[in-house]
Amino acid sequence: MTKTDITGPGTYVTAYCSYNLSKNNLIKHVTNGLTSALDESHLGLGGADEAAEKCLGVLENLSRAAEESQKHSSSFRYTQLSSSDSDHDRALTTKKTQSLFGIPLHQPEKPPKILLSKIREMMACSDLGLISLAYQKKIKATGLFRHFAPEHSRAGYEVVFDVNFDISNIVFPGQMSKTYTHITKTYVVAWYMGHLHLFKKMTPQSLWWPETFIGKEKENGEKILLFIAKHCKVFDPVIKGIKNLKKLEEMWAVLGINFVKGTKKFKQEKNQLITEISTMSLAKII
């Protein structure tokens, strides 16, 4: 493994190499005994918890108002329907049919849909608070811009993300890497609610859009790693050292190592390269 010289706040990387272990077994070996922070990374982040509590109050008020509106509307429809005996009989027939087929007569009501645009009008619930609630599984995100929040099938409130999202309201200062441009698209690595994610812009005028899956952090690791290796260049010294090691092995394989002197020379050069790799200090990426 390479060295890690931590000089202050930031995101540092360490490279692990093995002759004997497969990639999966190497990961198991390195993480053995460590406690995963995945499920709680979103907690305790610079005011996010307090913002989430404020959002709960806003959602409760908007939800109560929506329920009152629905009740008023339902009461009006019931008054109209009850004036017709035929409609009343039809409703009784429907209930009997539902009972025969085992369908519950009283279906659980879905939580009222609350628009993000409406929430923003209240000026008391920040985007940071909403995303924190989504990670806590207290809101269900739907709508065109739902990809900025973890998705859950059930929650106490349903928030329709009907307007665009600016990640600068979520990402804290100093938690975003420099940008990298490939053809017309621009990419950036950033800490988003305590999780490392990759974002992209289609044009310079566009807002950032998730390239990795928010809420599916376990599935994003390889994609982020490949991006960092290719664009951030932080692993270049290690990659160069490994290539030199492979060249040495290939050269000695061609020559053939059939005598003690050659074997000793090979091992000496091999161990020198391994030592160089293990003493490397890689730069931080953010």
Asked if the structure places residue 10 within a domain, the reply is: yes
- 82 part of a folded domain: yes
Residue 123 is assigned to a structural domain of this protein: yes
Total domains in the chain come to 3
Residues 81 and 163 in one domain: yes
Is 70 found in the same domain as 138? yes
Residue 137 and residue 204 in one domain: no
The β-bridge relationship of strands 113-115 and 195-201 is: unpaired
In a domain, 43, yes or no: no
Q: Is 144 a domain residue?
A: yes
Kindly state whether residues 151 and 219 are assigned to the same domain.
Answer: no
Q: Indicate whether 254 and 224 sit together in one domain.
A: no
- Do the domain assignments include residue 238? yes
Shared domain for 97 and 179, answered yes or no, is no
Last residue of a domain, one of 113, 139, 168: 168
160 shares a domain with 101 = yes
**237 in the same domain as 225:** no
Domain containing 184 equals 174-232
Q: Tokens in use for 130?
A: 């909403």
141 lies in the same domain as 96: yes
Tens of pLDDT, residue by residue, the chain (286 residues)? 888 888 877 888 888 888 788 888 988 998 899 888 888 888 888 889 999 999 999 999 998 886 776 666 555 554 554 545 555 555 555 554 454 445 555 555 676 789 999 999 988 999 999 999 999 999 999 999 999 999 888 888 999 999 999 999 999 888 999 899 988 899 999 999 999 999 999 998 999 999 999 999 999 999 999 999 888 888 888 888 888 888 877 777 766 655 444 577 777 877 887 888 778 878 778 8
Closest Cα to residue 280, out of 250, 245, 237? 237
Amino acid at 26: L
Global pTM value: 0.76
137 φ/ψ angles, rounded to the nearest 5 degrees: 65, 30
